[in-house]
Structure 1
Amino acid sequence: MKTVLVVDDSPAELKLMCLYLKEAGYLVISTDDAKEAVTKAETQKPDLVITDVVMPEMSGFELCRTLKKSEATQQLPVIICTTKNQDLDKLWGKKQGADEYVTKPYTREDFLKAVRSVL
């Protein structure tokens, strides 16, 4: 069973993403803090990280860049899931190392399609 680490500071979004993933058969780890996500990624070795962008202290872009620079987590696929839907945002996300970029609001199908495409 694949494990997914979900990072979002919005309790409602975090709950929704976790629900979709659990219903699809994934094991889910979650946090509302990007700095804590770095530690969880290193210690719990998930198969995928899904992160929001706009969060306090560390953005999802910074989280993605941190994971991709670390030898322990650089192979870990990252999906950015955010309301930032401009082409420039998507380009920047890819430059930070994101494997997929999903914009909110999303459908359950689009969300899970992105997850399956990187796992």
Structure 2
Amino acid sequence: MSEETHGGAGEQDELAGLKVMVIDDSKTIRRTAETLLKKQGCEVVTATDGFEALAKIAEHKPDIIFVDIMMPRLDGYQTCALIKHNRLFKQTPVIMLSSKDSIFDKARGRIVGSEQYLTKPFTRDDLLGAIRMHVKH
């Protein structure tokens, strides 16, 4: 048990200060992700849809972005494509979030430039693993 507690502290230092954006129309998903990430010392910016996210990205310049696929107005694929077409943010890792786990959805995510695809419900380790894999500290 003490090992786990000690490991948690090291993890926090590793991710502390990172800016993470979570775009999801589900308040529960946004709140869950925000709580998990803040415990790791991350700065979290949330948005309810692609339009709100695009306005906030320029202001906050996140290190990594998690985006839900199924959202009203602007879906996750469209949002990701717009982020990746912006010269300033095309290097920013975008992780797609979806409750669907089909090969077509994953392929479509790759086509629009996303780095990874996480299936909901995601775990704490899924989120942190994605950040560790794609954000160079």
**Taking structure 2 as the reference length, what is the TM-score of the superposition?**
0.83
Query: Paired residue for 1:64, among 57, 80, 98?
Result: 80
Q: Which residue of 1 aligns with 2:131?
A: 115
* Residues 27-73 of structure 1, C-alpha deviations (whole Å, 9 max, x = no match): 00111121110111112111111110000000011000000001121
Residue 29 (structure 1) aligns with: 45
What's the % identity of the aligned pairs? 34
1:106 aligns with 2:122: yes
The one-letter code matched in structure 2 to 1:17 is A
- Once the two structures are overlaid, the 10-residue window that deviates more, 32-41 or 50-59, is 32-41
Q: How does 1:15-94 map to 2 (within 5 A)?
A: 15-94=31-110
> Counterpart of 2:20?
4
Q: Give the Cα–Cα distance (whole angstroms) in 2 for the partners of residues 101 and 44 of structure 1.
A: 23
Gaps of 5+ in 1: none
Give the RMSD, CA atoms, in angstroms.
0.9
In 1: Cα distance, 2:91 partner to 2:123 partner:
27
Aligned residues: 119
Per-residue deviation at 1:111? 2.0
Normalising by structure 1, what TM-score?
Answer: 0.95
The structure that has the greater radius of gyration is 2
Q: Aligned to 1:39, what secondary structure does the other structure show?
A: helix
The runs of at least 4 consecutive aligned structure 1 residues that moved more than 2 Å come to none
What is the CA–CA distance in structure 2 between the aligned matches of 1:55 and 1:64, rounded to whole Å? 12
- Unaligned runs of 5+ residues in structure 2 are 1-16
Distance, in Å, in 1 between the alignment partners of 2:86 and 2:93 is 13
